[in-house]
Amino acid sequence: MTVQDLITPGTVLGRYTVERVEALPSIQATAYLLRHELGARHLHIERDDDNQTFAVFFPTVPSDSTGVAHILEHTALMGSRNFPVADPFFSMIPRSLNTFMNAMTASDWTTYLYSTRNEKDFFNLLNIYLDAAFFPLLRYESFRRDGHRFENADPADKTSELKMQGVVYNEMKGAMATPSSVLWKALQKALYPDLTYANNSGGEPSEIPNLTYQGLKDFHAAHYHPSNAYFYTYGNLPLERYLDAIEAGVMQDFTPNVLDVSIPDQTPFTEPQNVQASYPSTDTERGAQALVAWKLGHSFDPDENLRWKVLSEVLLGNAAAPLTRPLIESGLGSALSDGSGYQDEFREAAFAVGLKGLSAASAPAVQTLVLDTLARIASEGLPAELIDSALHQFEIAQKEVSNSGWPYSLKVAFRAVGPWLYGGDPLDGLNLDAALARLQEARNNGPIFEDMIREGLLNNTHRVTLTLVPDPELASAQEQAEREMVARLSADFTEEDRVRVVQEAVSLLESQDTDDDVSILPTLTLSDVTRKVARPAYTVEQTGGAVVGRVEQPTSGLVYLDVQVRLPELSSEELELLPLYAFTVTRSGAAGQDYAALARRIEAVTGGISASVGSSTGPDSLDDLRLSMSFGGKALSRNAGELVSVLRDVIAQPEFEATRLEQLLKQRVAGQKAGIVSSGNAYAGRLAAAQLSPEAALDEQLIGLAGLKRLEALVESGDWASTIERLKALHARVLEGQGRLCVTASSGDLALDVSSITGLFGGRQAAHVSSPLAPRVPVARTTDTPVAYNAVAFQTVPFTHPDSPALLALGNLLTSEYLLRELREKGGAYGGGAGFNSHSGVFRMTSYRDPNIGRTFEVFRQARDFLNGPAFQGEGAGLRELNEAILSASKGLDPLTSPDTVGRMRFYGDLGGYTADVQEAYVERLLNVQISDLIRVMDSYLTPDHAAYALLAGKDPNADTAAQGLTFKVESI
C-alpha cells in the first residue's frame, strides 16, 4: 500500500480537500479532483509515466477584440516577482529538458503548460510558471513590445513615417490574413453574436491599439486569480509534492475573490442567417469557402457530446461517408471547408459542414446540397455498420497511448478541460465507457441519429450559412486603413509626443541590448543530459525482397504495421509523380473495390492507413541520398489480420480512376496552396537550401513550390488518361524496391503473418539517387501575405563528421541569444531562428511573419560578428550560452517516445546506419563542444560565399534588399 491509497474523498491535504478519487482503467490511471480553500480546482492524473506535466487554465472571457487575453498571455511571461528578467520563459527553454513548453489563448480560456521527464526540471519550471501566471510584473515596456506601440520607420528619427508595431499586433496581422483563421473567427461571431465568442480573443489588428496598459493589468488581476484557476498535474510523483509546490508558490499570497466568468446561453435565432466574410487573396476563381453551421446543445453534456461526435464521424469521417461523398462528388469545391465537423470548444456546441476551393457564386448551391443530403440521410436512415465503424474509431482513440504530435499527458488534459471549465464533469471525456454503454442501449431501442439530424440540424433555425470570399483589394485596403488609423490616433500629437515616441523606441531597443542576469533562473546542467539512447529489442527476418522487424511493446491492445519501401532508381518523370502517387494511393480504390468501398473498409477495421514519400541522407555522406515510400496503419488487436489485408491491397493493387484522380489532385493542390503562408519559413528555407543540398533539392521537387507547380500544371492539362498510365508504371517500379516492414505489438500479436506483403517486393535498391541542385540565385516568391518569411541556407557536413554537433549547438545558440532578440524583440517579427538539420547537413536561418526584409538579411549576415564579438571573447566568456545551447541541442537527440514509436524509430534508424552507437557517439561529441568550436564552424561553413537566399513575401523585395547587395529573382506563386 502506498500513501496515495489512503487518499479518499474528504481527505484534507493542507488547504486542499479531496472531492473525488476515480480509477480510470481504460487509460491505466487514477484521477484526483481537489478544491483549495481559495476556490482553485485541481485535477491530478496519477499514471505510471515519467513525463511529468503541469497546466493551469484560466477562464478568460474578453468583451472586446483588443486581444487583451492574448497580449496578457504573452506579457505574463516577460518577467515576474521572483524572476524579474526580461524573458524568463524564453530564457528557460535552453535551461531545461522539457518535452513541451507553451502558453495559449483560446476563445474563452488561457493556459500555461509544459511537460518534462526530468524531476528537477519539473519543479524548476513549476516555479517559473506559477510566478509568471500569478505575479507577473506586466511592465509598461512589455505591454509596448508585445502589445502595441507607435514607432517611426527609423526608430531614432521622429520625422520618418510613424507606424504601429508590436509582436501580437504583427502576429495577428499574419493570422488574420489566412482563410482558416478568418473563417473560424467569422463563424464564432455569426453563431454566438451576443456572447464572448463574437470577439476575437487573439485581437483584431484594427482594435488592438484600443487596449490600454491599465486595461491589461485589470484583466490580469481579475482573471489570473486562484479562485478562477483550474490546475492540472499528471505523472507518477506523490500528489502532495505537486500540491505543496503550488501552495508555497502561489496560494499563500491571496484571499478569495469572486469573478463571474460564466457564459450564458445564446438566444436562439428564429430564422437562419447568411453571413459573408472576406480575406485577402487574388484567387477569385477558386478561393471561396461556404460553410453551413448550427448551434447545438451544451457541449458539457456527456451523452449529447458523445452522440454528436459519433454522428459527425459517421457523416464526415471518411471519403465514402454519406455527407462527405456527395459534397465532394458534386464538383462544386475541392475539399471540405475549414471548420467542418462537430465543434465542442464552445459552451454550446456547433456542427458545421461545407466546401472550399469554390467560386463564391456556388455558395447557395453548397447550402442546398448540404440540406438536401441531410434530409435524404434522415429519411433513408443510417446503416448500422456505419455507426459501428465510427464507434470502433472511438474505441481506438480511447485505448491508444501515444506521444505522437502532442504529449499524451496533454491530450488527457484537453479531453478534460472543456466540460470542466463549463461546469460539467472533467472525467467524462476520460472515461467514455459509461456514455458508450448508454449509447448502445439507446440504439437498441430504435434509431437515434436520424432524429438528431432532423431536430438538431434540419429543423434547427439557429443556422448560419457563411461564405468566405477572396478579396484581391483587401490587402491594400487594410494597409490604407492602417495608415489612416495611425494618422487618426496621432492627429493630436504635440512635438513633445513625437519626441516621447522616439525616446521610448530607443529605450526599448536599448533595453533589449542590455544583457539580463539570468543567473537567478534555475537551470539543469550538462550532467542531466541522458547519454544513452533507447535500445528497445526487436527481431529481424529476411524474406526474399523484404526484411521484417518485430518489436514487442505495451501497445494497449493495438497493433502497428509500417511498410517502408526503399525505391530503385527512378527517372525524373517518375520521381515527379511520387507525391501524387503517395497522396492518391490510399484514397483511391484497390483490389476490385472502388474508393468508397475501400474507405468504408479502412474505417471499419483500422485506425487509419497512410502513405508518404520521404528522402533521407546517409550518416557518412551528404550525397548518399535515399528515397522511400512509406505505408503504415494501426488496428485493434482483433483486426490485425484485416489491417495486413487492407495494406496489402493498397500496396499491391491500387486502382486509379479518372474522376476520383481529378478530385484528389484538385484537393491536394488546394490544400497545399492554403498551407503555404502558415509554413512560409519552411517553404523559403527549402527554396534556399535546394540551391546547395541534394536532399533539399529533392524535397523541393517533392513537397516544395516546384512540386506544387507541376501538380498545378497537371490539373491544368486535364490529361487524366495518361496520368493514370504513368501512375501504373510508377506502381510497378515501387514494387521493384526493397520492403522494410516493422510490426509493433504486445507479445500475443507479435507473430502477425505479413507474408502477403513481404512477397510483393523485388528487393532492388537505387545505387544512387541523383538530384540536381536549383540554380544559385536569390529567389523571392510572392503571394497574398502582408508579412515576409526570409531565409538563408548553408550546406555543411554529414552526421558523423566531427563538426556536426558543434553546428547543432550553434543553431540553438544563435536562436536564443541572437536571432530572437534581433528579429522578434527588435524587429517585431513573430518568430525567427537558426536550425541545423544534422542529417541533410543544411544550416538555415529563417524568420516568421516578419515585417522586415532587408533588415532581416542584415541580421542574418551579422550573426558572424555577434559570435566573434565581446560576449564570446576572453576567459570564461559565453560559457552559460554554450551550456544552454548544448542542453537544448541534446533535446532533439532524445525525443519523447511512446510504445507506438520507440521501436520503429530504432529499427529504421539501425537500417539507415543511424545506430544507437552512432547516436551515442554524437551525444558525447556534443557534450564536449567548446566555444572555439562554434566560432570555427561558423567561420568555415557559414560565410557569405557559402550562402543561398530565398524569401516569401507579399511584394517585390528588391528595393528593400539593395543595401545588402542582394537581388532576388521574383516570381509569383
**Beta carbon of residue 217, minimum distance to Zn ion (angstroms, whole number):** 19
Tell me how far CA of residue 620 lies from CA of 569, 839, 928, in angstroms. 20, 9, 21
Partners of 299 in beta bridges: none
CA distance 802 to 596: 53
Compute φ and ψ for 129, nearest 5 degrees. -65, -45
C-beta closer to Zn ion: residue 173 or 309: 173
C-beta closer to Zn ion: residue 171 or 700: 171
The DSSP code for 146 is I
**Beta carbon of residue 834, minimum distance to Zn ion (angstroms, whole number):** 21
3-state secondary structure 287-335: CEEEEEEEEEEECCCHHHHHHHHHHHHHHHCCCCCCCHHHHHHCCCCCE
Q: 460, 457, 232, 594: which is closest to 602 by C-alpha?
A: 594
CA distance 233 to 410: 10
Grid cell, residue 310, equals: 459519433
**Beta carbon of residue 72, minimum distance to Zn ion (angstroms, whole number):** 11
3-state secondary structure 796-853: CCCCCCCCHHHHHHHHHHHHHHHHHHHHHHHCCCCEEEEEEECCCCEEEEEEECECCC
Identity at 665, one-letter amino acid code: L
8 Å CB contact between 904 and 551 = yes
**Beta carbon of residue 153, minimum distance to Zn ion (angstroms, whole number):** 24
C-beta closer to Zn ion: residue 799 or 848: 848
Residues 6 or more apart from 716 whose CB is under 8 A from it? none
C-beta closer to Zn ion: residue 174 or 811: 174
Q: 552, 535, 630: which is closest to 586 by C-alpha?
A: 630
**Beta carbon of residue 204, minimum distance to Zn ion (angstroms, whole number):** 14
CA distance 709 to 173: 27
**Beta carbon of residue 588, minimum distance to Zn ion (angstroms, whole number):** 40
Per-residue burial over 103-134, b if 16 or more Cβ lie within 10 Å, else e, is bebbbbbbbbbbbbbbeebbbbbbbbbbbbbb
**Beta carbon of residue 381, minimum distance to Zn ion (angstroms, whole number):** 47
CA distance 365 to 368: 5
C-beta closer to Zn ion: residue 87 or 562: 87
Per-residue burial over 671-699, b if 16 or more Cβ lie within 10 Å, else e, is ebbbebbbebbbbbbbbbbbbbbbbbbbb
Grid cell, residue 530, equals: 541522458
Residues 6 or more apart from 248 whose CB is under 8 A from it? none
C-beta closer to Zn ion: residue 66 or 616: 66
C-beta closer to Zn ion: residue 166 or 357: 166
**Beta carbon of residue 146, minimum distance to Zn ion (angstroms, whole number):** 8
Alpha helices (runs of H) in 102-166, residue ranges in sequence order? 119-134, 140-142
**Beta carbon of residue 171, minimum distance to Zn ion (angstroms, whole number):** 5
C-beta closer to Zn ion: residue 170 or 606: 170
Edge to edge, what strands does the sheet with 625-636 contain?
538-543, 546-552, 738-745, 558-566, 625-636, 609-617
C-beta closer to Zn ion: residue 171 or 344: 171
C-beta closer to Zn ion: residue 202 or 619: 202
C-beta closer to Zn ion: residue 171 or 649: 171
**Beta carbon of residue 830, minimum distance to Zn ion (angstroms, whole number):** 7
- Closest residue to Zn ion, judged by C-beta, is 171
Long-range (24+ apart) CB contacts under 8 A made by 76-79 are: 76/103, 76/112, 76/132, 76/133, 76/136, 76/138, 76/220, 76/224, 77/103, 77/112, 77/132, 77/136, 78/136, 78/137, 78/139, 78/142, 78/145, 78/146, 79/136, 79/137, 79/139, 79/142
Residues 6 or more apart from 39 whose CB is under 8 A from it? 226, 227, 228, 256, 257
**Beta carbon of residue 649, minimum distance to Zn ion (angstroms, whole number):** 45
**Beta carbon of residue 893, minimum distance to Zn ion (angstroms, whole number):** 29
**Beta carbon of residue 701, minimum distance to Zn ion (angstroms, whole number):** 34
631: left (phi over 0), alpha (psi -120 to 50) or beta: beta
C-beta closer to Zn ion: residue 76 or 524: 76
Compute φ and ψ for 162, nearest 5 degrees. -85, 135
CA distance 836 to 796: 9
CA distance 933 to 801: 13
C-beta closer to Zn ion: residue 49 or 171: 171
Compute φ and ψ for 842, nearest 5 degrees. -90, 130
**Beta carbon of residue 410, minimum distance to Zn ion (angstroms, whole number):** 18
**Beta carbon of residue 105, minimum distance to Zn ion (angstroms, whole number):** 7
CA atoms within 13 A on the CB side of 249: 23
Q: Cα torsion for 313, 316, 321, 326, to the nearest 10°?
A: 160
The Cβ of residue 441 has, within 10 Å, a number of other Cβ atoms equal to: 9
C-beta closer to Zn ion: residue 171 or 428: 171
C-beta closer to Zn ion: residue 180 or 701: 180
**Helices 572-585, 705-717: crossing angle, 10 deg rounding:** 80
C-beta closer to Zn ion: residue 146 or 151: 146
> Which residues contribute to the site for Zn ion (CB under 5 A)?
171
**Beta carbon of residue 416, minimum distance to Zn ion (angstroms, whole number):** 24
**Beta carbon of residue 212, minimum distance to Zn ion (angstroms, whole number):** 19
C-beta closer to Zn ion: residue 131 or 171: 171
C-beta closer to Zn ion: residue 169 or 351: 169
**Beta carbon of residue 75, minimum distance to Zn ion (angstroms, whole number):** 11
